[in-house]
Amino acid sequence: MADIADVLAEKVRAAAAAKTPLAVQGTNSRHFLGRAVESETLSIAEHAGIIDYEPRELVITARAGTPLAEIEAALDAAGQMLAFEPPRFSAESTLGGAIASGLSGPRRAYAGAVRDFVLGCRVVNGKGEILKFGGQVMKNVAGYDVSRLMTGAYGTLGVLLDVSLKVLPKPAASLTLVREYPVDQALRRMRELAGKPWPVDASCHLDGRLYLRLSGSPEAVETAKRRLGGEVLAGDELFWQHLRDWQLPMFNERPFWRLSLPAAAPMLPLDGEWLIEWGGAQRWLKTEQEIDVVRQTVADAGGHATLIGDQAGEDVFHPLPPALLALHRQLKQAFDPANILNPGRLYPEL
Amino acid sequence: MNPSRHDLIRALQAFLPDEAILADEEALRPYECDGLSAFKQLPLLVAMPETVAQVQQVMRICHQFQVPVVARGAGTGLSAGALPHSGGVLLSLAKFNRILDIDVQACTARVQPGVRNLAISQAVVPYGLFYAPDPSSQVACSIGGNVAENSGGVHCLKYGLTVHNVLKLEVITAEGELLTIGSDALDSPGYDLLALIHGSEGMLGIVVEVTVKLLPLPEAVRVLLVAFDSVEKAGQAVGDIIAAGIVPAGLEMMDNPAIRAAEDFAHAGYPTDAAAILLCEIDGGLDEVASQVARVRGVLMQSDATEVRLAVEESDRQKLWKGRKSAFPAIGRLSPDYYCMDGTIPRKALPQVLHQISELSKEFNLPVANVFHAGDGNLHPLILYDAGKPGELHRAEQLGGRILELCVKVGGTITGEHGVGVEKLDQMCVQFAPLELAQFHAIKAAFDPEGLLNPGKAVPELHRCAELGAMHVHQGQLAHPELERF
Ligand SMILES: Cc1cc2nc3c(=O)[nH]c(=O)nc-3n(C[C@H](O)[C@H](O)[C@H](O)COP(=O)(O)OP(=O)(O)OC[C@H]3O[C@@H](n4cnc5c(N)ncnc54)[C@H](O)[C@@H]3O)c2cc1C
């Protein structure tokens, strides 16, 4: 529970001088995400602790090594939450890992992604410089939006030190409706609902059933329940928690695919086990099909595919078009000229 | 290289019709400034392409000639971001004014960058949808400009800024290359370039197409007008509403000078004797709205409000908003000129900062009216002055600078939504350390190594800050009076 920013910066400076690559790590609960990095470890786990949390401001600032569990407990005590529901892969999963991997949970399509809630950050760039961007206020257009750029960059542009996040009040009431639906109809139904002001804040199609979570004031949830129909799912909190933390049976065995698609894309011609959420915009697939086939099918539908598993050398993330890759390399160069921060974790060229 | 203007025009004429190239001084005049008219400059020429291929060619030619390019949407910007470069091309996107596609299933619209913000919502109303970010300038400003400034609006407390409501951009680089940034899905592989382009003030690329997210129109909307006998109490009530777990669709505040000006102008029915009013809009399903309105009322009962009025009828609601949305022009009638500031502060600092602004107003002997997005802590102090009186503009700018520095001091920022442009370059030196500014320059260079896109805007050169620092040391005794110091 200390601020060890200076120590971390010094280590990065030394590594940059010696051109030693560093694998930036919290508690390594996300080791199976992204490509493997062969290098010395830079642990930020000790750089932990909530720095500032005032519920009235709807903002929390914490060090990157702070366990998500600690942050969520503090928020919970004030009736607030991280609305983007980052997955927690272990009890020690850190804030830094959640921001760097940029993953969001079931509420994402309705409330926004991690990056939508990031207000500011303090980082160490690849030169070992401690820099601060954004802030603790809701609106801020001074300078380029480096805080959001860091989100989902897998630590390849900077070592996250502190992060400020917008938080939201928890809904007063919440319940889940379930109904049998074939997948095509479920996809259509999700789109119908998205175009109307229903208080839906999570949706999921799994094993022939459509799950809809309703949230808001008790009256609103009650009315929507009556009008939408379906069975009320008992113990629904656990269901969404398992979906959020990748603990449903279909996530048990890696590798599997995360497909990010235009929400209205039809069912794709790929055999396997499917789970659809985010109103159709995020789909999970377990398949025997070739990597190239999956990627091509998803790209043709306007989306991209990420392979989740511990496959060291594989291309995990969807390949970038040459012009975009070139721009990524220039950006990497702008932040980390010695190429020492998590080299190769995102793409071999970065 | 300093190419002749003649050569440049010849090169552009190869693919642009004559009427798409403006070069006469008279024709250039309307482009000399944006919404911040204290800064004026004629460009070398104006190019008005109408196809993406033409924009690419303009960029390639300018790259070849090493001529700066400044993009311009509707020119409503308030920080001189679209101020022309004397030796550069002003690239107007006014002809890109078509809505290309509305996808009701996906709840998205694909539009050209010159499309007016309000036109999007108007086009999708028949489908029960709307585009959420609604700057007060929405009848005029362009979606391309909104992306470049990451504009907000009255409803961004609940619905977010432009960056939260855009899925995909087509962007042309300084070298004329067309990039697709973002996608029709909710995320894309690699770095979040989509976020980086938002608020980049035309420094990283030219936006030539925007895919926006559309939201379902809420079932019910109610506005509460709440009056207070002190500005501090109003500021306190803002925090109380949020602390009660309510996120209103909009939460706006006006102080007495603003109330009186708006009432004179729009006859909105505001209580002109109030020290401050809040407009609190609640939207959602009928039941949701009813229960939230009741809760907000409950909070306000304990907050010393002198009046709480609920607008149920749509016409009453429109009237209340009309006063707010016309507040800038209304205040414009009070004084020959006004200067609109744009800092954001933590909400808890509202009472204190509003008090200090009134102290500064006395110190500089210039009236200040406040109309702002209180829920987000985004202040818009309007400094009233008369440019005709010698020294008043300079005093207004100094007062403005002090207000922004106050915002930084309480943990806020020098700009919430209007951007840095040319206007706030000096305050950037206050908010950021040299290493941070150097990092911004490195990002810029990654996109535009030759620095041809909107040069001199948004991020100050380090020597400027160094000189400014030296100026502060000399306690306002300017070391180099010949240097420009806006
Ligand atoms: C009365 C009034 C009220 C306002 N209210 C608000 C408000 O409530 N909220 C708010 O956020 N702003 C507000 N503004 C500011 C302004 O309207 C916004 O900043 C708006 O987004 C600017 O859009 P524009 O099309 O006029 O852009 P311009 O002024 O033409 O340009 C602004 C910047 O964007 C760049 N740019 C423009 N188009 C492109 C493009 N296609 N590609 C790349 N760069 C581009 C320009 O180079 C420049 O740097 C207000 C302004 C006025 C005059």
pLDDT(B483) > 50: no
Range scoring the smallest mean pLDDT among A274-278, A335-339, B135-139, B178-182? B135-139
- Residue A312: its pLDDT value, please? 58
**Percentage of residues in chain A having pLDDT higher than 90:** 93
pLDDT band, very low/low/confident/very high, at B470 (cuts 50, 70, 90):
low
* pTM score of the predicted model: 0.96
Indicate if the pLDDT at residue A289 is higher than 80: yes
Q: Is the distance from CB of B77 to CB of B36 less than 8 angstroms?
A: yes
CA atoms of A328 and A330, how far apart (whole Å): 5
pLDDT at residue A14 greater than cutoff 90:
yes
The angle, 0 to 180 degrees and rounded to 10, between the axes of the packed helices A218-228 and B286-301 is 180
Mean pLDDT in residue range B306-319? 92
**Chain segment B140-167, per-residue pLDDT in tens:** 999 999 999 999 999 999 999 999 999 9
Q: Are A250 and A244 in contact (CB under 8 A)?
A: no
> What does the pLDDT look like over A21-79, one tens digit per residue?
999 998 888 888 888 888 899 999 999 999 999 999 999 999 999 999 999 999 999 99
pLDDT tens for B272-304 read 999 999 999 999 989 889 999 999 999 998 888
Residue A334: which of B246, B378, B446 has the nearest Cβ? B446
CB contact set of A47 (below 8 Å; sequence gap of 6+): A2, A3, A4, A5, A8, A63, A64, A65, A161
The answer to whether the Cβ–Cβ distance between B418 and A141 falls below 8 Å is: yes
Give the least confident one: B78-92, B109-123, B318-332.
B318-332
Summarised one tens digit per residue, pLDDT across range A220-237 is 999 999 999 999 999 999
Domain B99-216 has CATH 3.50.50.100: no
Q: What is the 3-state secondary structure (H, E, C) of B196-216?
A: HHCCCCCCCCEEEEEEEECEE
- CA B360 to chain CA centroid, nearest Å: 24
* Whole-angstrom distance, CA of residue B401 vs CA of residue B395: 10
Q: Average the pLDDT over A253-266 and give the result.
A: 96
Domain ranges, ordered by start, for chain B: 5-92, 99-216, 220-330, 337-347+360-370+385-485
Best mutation site among A123, A141, A317 for testing chain B: the one with the most B CBs within 10 Å? A141
Residue window 39-68, chain B: list those with CB within 8 Å of chain A: none
Residue of B nearest to A279 (CA): B106
User: What tens digit of pLDDT does each residue of B395-427 get?
Assistant: 999 999 999 999 999 999 999 999 999 999 999
CATH architecture of the domain with residue range B5-92: 2-Layer Sandwich (3.30)
Query: Any idea what DSSP says for residue B116?
Result: B
- Confirm if B339 and B289 have CB atoms less than 8 A apart: no
- To the nearest whole angstrom, how far is the Cα of B103 from the nearest Cα of chain A? 9
Closest CA to A229 of A181, A277, A187: A181
Mean pLDDT over the full length of chain A: 95
- The answer, for B298 touching chain A at a CB cutoff of 8 Å, is no
For position B328, what pLDDT does the model report? 85
Phi, psi of B150 (to 5 degrees): 50, 55
Same fold, B5-92 and B99-216: no
Q: Quick check: B334 pLDDT over 90? A: no
Which pLDDT band holds residue A242 (cuts at 50, 70, 90)? Answer: very high
Q: Categorize the per-residue pLDDT at A311 as very low, low, confident or very high, splitting at 50, 70 and 90.
A: low
Alpha-carbon gap: B68 to the closest alpha carbon of chain A (Å): 20
Question: Cβ of A131 and B435 within 8 Å?
Answer: yes
Q: Indicate whether B481 pLDDT > 90.
A: no
Select from A127, A161, A131, A128 the least CA-distant residue to A146: A131
Express each pLDDT in B3-47 by its tens digit: 689 999 999 999 999 999 999 999 999 999 999 999 999 999 999
- What is the per-residue pLDDT for A31? 85
Rounded distance, CA A268 to CA A303, Å?
A: 11
Buried b (16+ CB within 10 A) or exposed e, A128-150: bbbbbbbbbbbbbbbbbbbbbbb
Q: Which residues have a Cβ under 8 Å from the Cβ of A252 and sit 6 or more positions away? A: none
Q: Taking phi first (over 0 means left), then psi (-120 to 50 degrees means alpha), and beta for anything else, what does residue B61 get?
A: alpha
Atom of ligand 1 nearest to the CA of B144: 41
Q: To 5 degrees, how large is the angle CA B109–CA B112–CA B118?
A: 65
B34 lines ligand 1 (CB under 6 A): yes
Query: What confidence tens digit (pLDDT) does each residue in A140-159 have?
Result: 999 999 999 999 999 999 99
Q: Which residues of A touch B444 (CB under 8 A)?
A: 144
CA of B422 to the centre of ligand 1 (A): 14
Task: Give pLDDT, residue B482.
Answer: 42
Fold of B220-330: Alpha-Beta Plaits (3.30.70)
pLDDT value at residue B476: 38
What amino acid occupies position B438? A
pLDDT > 90? residue B376: yes
Q: Do B415 and A141 touch (CB under 8 A)?
A: yes
- How far is B409 from B390, CA to CA, in rounded Å? 30
The pLDDT of residue A162 is 98
Asked if the Cβ–Cβ distance from B196 to A223 is below 8 Å, we say no
Q: Which residues of B touch A133 (CB under 8 A)?
A: 436
Q: What is the mean pLDDT of chain B?
A: 93
Nearest CA in chain B to A317: B189
What pLDDT was estimated at residue B472?
A: 52
Q: Which of residues 230-259 of B touch A (CB under 8 A)?
A: 239, 242-243, 245-247
What's the average model confidence in pLDDT over A270-296?
Answer: 96
Q: Which of B423, B339, B421, B346 is nearest to B378 (CA)?
A: B346
Q: Is the CB of B116 under 6 A from ligand 1?
A: no
Of residues B187, B199, B291, nearest to A141 (C-beta): B199
Ligand 1 in reach of B72 Cβ (< 6 A):
yes
Fill in the DSSP letter of residue B393. H
pLDDT beyond 60 at B387:
yes
**What DSSP assignment string belongs to B457-468?**
SSS--HHHHHHH
pLDDT at residue B480 above 80? Answer: no
